[in-house]
Every structure is written in structure tokens, then in C-alpha cells.
Structure 1
Amino acid sequence: MATAPWYRGVAVRPYTCGMRVLGIESSCDETGVAVVEAAPHGVPRLLGAALHSQVAMHQDYGGVVPELASRDHIRRVLPLTEAALAQAGLTLSDIDGIAYTRGPGLAGALLVGAGVACAMSAALGVPTLGVHHLEGHVLSPFLSADPPAFPFVALLVSGGHTQLMRVEGVGRYTLLGETIDDAAGEAFDKSAKVLGLGYPGGPALARLAEQGDATAFALPRPLLHSGDLDFSFAGLKTAVLTQARKLGAGLAARQADLAASTQAAIVDVLVHKAVAALRATGLRRLVVAGGVGANRALRQRLDQACVRHGWRVHYPEPALCTDNGAMIALAAAMRWQVGAWPPGGDGLAFDVLPRWPLEAVALDATGTG
């Protein structure tokens, strides 16, 4: 047997046949734990997953309360770990590595996942890896029934992030465009708040939009013809607020129409920019990831556009669009496949990065950072 590499001060076995990764997600208001298994080649597979959403707890406040989120992660992470392992038919002793969300996200919430992951790493003698939350989203479609192949253009629409990226491989990301103010998810949520739809607003607005007329109100499509691949949704939110004030007491009767018009404006911009990115890069494959990627209107429009141009489009399964542990375990497993993990690391110390650009996790041609 080959000598095991020295990693984090602990002798760990070399992984030549495969690797089972436990992933922990705790960046905001979902606690997710999952187990992913990877062979040296091929697409990793999901063995088990468990998720708890804090939506009900934060509804009374109209948004996420960071301290409450952190405390709830503490309560949930170990029971969810047990549930994910049970679904996979495994125990902790079967785990070869542990991944956690290092950032971006809420500092206190991130520290919960990081602390648990690194404690498990020390106890089990296995390596751990802090994963970029957005890298998890970008790679999440690889767990779908129709996984993509590199290279592709990624449309990332997750929470406060709206970005277009050229993705050549794991850790090989080139930013093509991003939002200069509000992201698409924020436009959904803030517009929903104007309409009195409560929290979380985005999914509620999308449901209401199905009952309305998308052409009822002429709302702006910011930067639609800007000639670049950047986004801006702050002006749209302001336009929705202005229209709601004009309607006054009549808003209730026109609520569905305004919701539909708002969604149509957001979708128009996302589709237009995604098509422009594919044309600019010459690539013929699009990956859509993040919470807004579950929006049915967006998927319909992107499907139509890609059929028209002869392109392929790939999405995560709806359950994997929101924050989850599977995407974190997957990102770590795919980094292992390209030789970027393990070894490496900085001893048993850990940190979190609430603000962390995706470019910071880029790999060079040798597979190292």
C-alpha cells in the first residue's frame, strides 16, 4: 500500500478508487447535508441528502435574521447529518472527506458549518475543504438526469448574485457579466414586497404571475440593449413601486397582472443576455443554476431560445436549485477528480469568507490554485 499523504497533521489514505464526500451547507437560511460519491472519472452521484428551510422562522420578520439563522443551523446540522447518512446507508466511518460552505454568506451561519466540518475532519482523520457557494451552484446540474459537459456558459441566478460565466472546467471560470446593483432574485423579492406578498417573495410572485397578463404594464428592461453582458434590476423595482402607487386602492384587483409583468421583464433580460453570451463565446451549451433557475417562465423561454438556435440548456433538478448540501459535496468531489483536493490546507484552523469572489477559487493548468 502506498504511503498516505500527510494532510492537516493527520495521515489519510490515498483515494485511488473513489471518494465519498459529506457536504454541509449553512450560508444563509437553509441547512443542508448530503453525501456524494465520486469515482476518478465520470459524473459523481448523490447517495443521500437532507435539508431544512428556515422560511417559517423568518416570515414574521420579513427577511433573514442572521443570529436566528445561526442558532437554527446549530440545532439542525447534526440531525440532518444522521438523516443524510441513513438515506445513503452509510455511517461516518464510511466518509472519505468533508466539505463545507466557506463563503459567501452570513458570517455566523457559515461558521456553524465550518466548525462542524472541521471538528468531524479532526475526529475522523479525513480531509476537509471549504467550498465556494457559487461554485456549488454552477456545478449542481452535474447531479441532474441530464448533466452538461464542459465547456459551457453559466447563467447564475442565486439570491444576491446574477452572473454570466464562461466555464471551461472545474475551477476554470471567466466572468462575462454581472449585476451592477440588484440581482434578479432581489428584484423578485423586493417587487413581491411592494405587492404585499410577504416572505419569501420571489416564489410567491412567480405563482401569482401565472394568473396575470404579462403585457398589462409596460415595465422597463434595464440594460437590455446595453451591448454588454451586465445586468441591472434596481430600476425595475422602482418602476414596480411607482406603478403600485399609481394603482392605489386598485392594486388588489391588478396584483396578478403587475406580478406577471414584473416576471416577464426579469425573464426578458435574463434570456436576452444569456443568448448574447452564447453568441459572443461561440459556445453551444448553457447551464442555469441558482434559486431563480427553478422559475418555470424562465425555463420555458430559455428552452424555446435554445431550440431555436440549436443549443443545449441544462438545469439542476428543482430541489437542487435552492441552497443544499449536495452541491457543496459535489463541488469538492469534482475538485478531487481533477487532483485539486487533497492534499493542501492550513492545518486544523479554518476560516469563512462572507465576501468571496468566485475568481478567487480558480485553478491553473496544473489543477492547483
Structure 2
Amino acid sequence: MTPSPHHPMRSNDLQRTAPLGGLTVLELGHSVAAPYAGLILAELGARVIKVENPATGDYARGWGPPFLGDDATVFHALNRSKESVTLDFSDPAQKAALKRLILDSDAVIQNLRPGLLEKFGVEADALRREKPELIWCDIGAFGKSGPLASKPGYDPLAQASSGIMSITGEADRAPVRVGVSLVDMGAGMWTVIGLLAALCERGATGTGARVSTSLFETGLAWMTIPLAAHAVSGEVRKPQGSGLSEIVPYQAFEASDGWVMIAAGNDKLFGRLCEAIPGLSEVGRDPRFARNRGRVLLRDELVPRIAAAIRGLSAAALGATLDAAQVPNCPLLRIDQVWAHPQTQAVGILTEGAGHQWVGLPITLDDARPTAGGAAPALGAHNASLLQDHG
């Protein structure tokens, strides 16, 4: 890594949990995708400066309830450990300050609507000519070219247009969106991957790069397997509820007092399942179901028989039975149950910041989870120091 000359590398004892210490990233972002990329970088030790509209700030500040203070918890969850500066791009002095902030940074992340920066004379290529080592990261909606390139985009639009919603939910029911911002957050992750790759290359060449991704491309990446199936066979996948097109049984089953996810991911596990559950021994001996290929083709016959055998068992009894048979399973948990679950506590993913717990990064480095432990900034909280430093 080549750190910014203004922010030297931290001492060796901190690099293990702050591996990006010394890196300065300017976030021209709002909503989810760019802020999530910025959050990842901040948790890894980078200094992330968030530029916001002085009138509205990041739209996510208002996405509530619930609120924590003046801002929605959505904003707090995605913008911890950052600095906030407000700039009016139409003001020449503030636009000049923006350019100085960019040129003093190692990297820029932006997900503003297409053409907005160019409208105000902020050109990525021109800035990179002025500072060749700059890494510039664009997060778009539908990509840089093509008939939808100028169309604005949000996570549900990408889920709809990439095919994700067509295979989510249950057949012959209304379309269902994945319940989290899967595409937005995925685009943020791809941005970080691209930025880190460019950072490695810069260490060897001294030259930055322009990194680009989009919500649409991210959605297509999540559809890798269904699109491959279509390319090979012409198959158009349908939604399978909690199940999976390629494996049976691999879905949630209803017990007498709740739902249990069962993942019999190979033929041996299917045999164990049939041996363990009363009433399924005959199913286990049926040669038509001996291989996964047959079980997939006979899904509509097999799944109801398994469901009938399971329905009379409690979720706890079913889980204990399958655990004893070494068949992968788990109960379906509500959000409150996930938060309080001993496994959630044991992995240590809940991090502290501003007197509250938040979900940290799902990685550890040498058994230490990288976290900056900071709070989300109030709108323009760092105007005085940053604008003084940058004219």
C-alpha cells in the first residue's frame, strides 16, 4: 500500500486491526452502496471523509423510524467512523475546496446520479491527469453504456432487472424482493475489492485507476448460476420459495411449532435424513430418490412426503434428531432472536460505537475483528477543520 503523505502509516501494532491506516478516501455518496463501501474502508482503518449536500445531507439520514438522535438508524449503521463535510457544488469557492479534498485523497468513491459531477465541472479523468496516483471509484445504476446507462437506479430496480426477483419467493405468487439491500451492499463490496486491487497495482506502478461497477452488474453477478443454467439448457428458473433449483431437499419445512431449514446437500445426507425421521424409511429405500438428479425431477412428489413426516415434530425435537444424524439444519430465527443468539455473541461481530452495538465486518485478521469503533457524524460535523485545511 502507498499511504497518503498527509497520513503516514500507523505503528505495526495497529496495522493488524487497521490495515488501511494511512489511506484517505473521499466519499461522494448517499443511500447505501457508496456508504457501505466507505464503512468497510473505515472499519479497516482508512480515514473516510463523507461529502454531503448542505441542504439535505445523505438521504439515508431521513430513512426512519427508528431514529437515533436526529438521524435514522440506517444512516448510523452505514456511516460510522467517518467525517462529514457539507459542500455546495454550485458555489465556486466550495467547488474549489472539493477539488482540493479530492487531490489530497488516495481514492474517491462516488454514486451520484449520472452526469451530476460533470455538470459542475468535476471531471474524474481531468483530476486523474492532475494526480495520476488517484484511484477513482464509480458506482452506477445500470452501467456506463447501453440503453439504460442514464436511468437512475435503486436496489429493488436492480433486483427486478437482473432477474433476482424472478427466482425469489414462491411460484405463481406476486414478485418478492430479497428483504435486505443485497445489490446495494454487494456493489459496495465490489467497489472495495476493485479499490484494493487498484491499490496493490499502484504500489507497483505508482499509478492509480478508475474502478467502475453498477447495481445492475452486481445483480447479474449474484445471478451467475441461474444465468449459466439458462445459457447451457435454455432453462428459465422459477422461484422455489425457501428451496433451491439444483438440490432437493434443501429448504424450510414446517414443524408443529415453527420452521426448520434442512440442507441435505448430497445423497448421503438425504439417506441420513430418511433414516432419522419416522415415516421416511420407505422414501429412503425408493431407488427413484437415491440420486439428487432424480429428487430434483420428482420434487413435487418427494417434498410433500417429507413435509408430512416432519409436520408432527416440534422444531426442537426435529433439530435434535437431525443433529444426532449429522444432517445440516437450523431453525428460522426472527431478528430479535438472531441479535440475542449465543452464536451471534460468540463470533464477536457486534461492535461498539457511540454507546450502541452495531454489526461489524464479517472478517477477522489474525483473530482480531477490524473496527474503528467510531460514531456516525452529524451533518457537516467536520466543516470547520476540513474546510480550513482545504481552503
Using structure 2 for the length normalisation, give the TM-score.
0.25
Structure having the larger proportion of residues in strand: 1
Using structure 1 for the length normalisation, give the TM-score.
0.26
| Higher relative contact order (Cα pairs below 8 Å, separated by 6+ residues) | 1
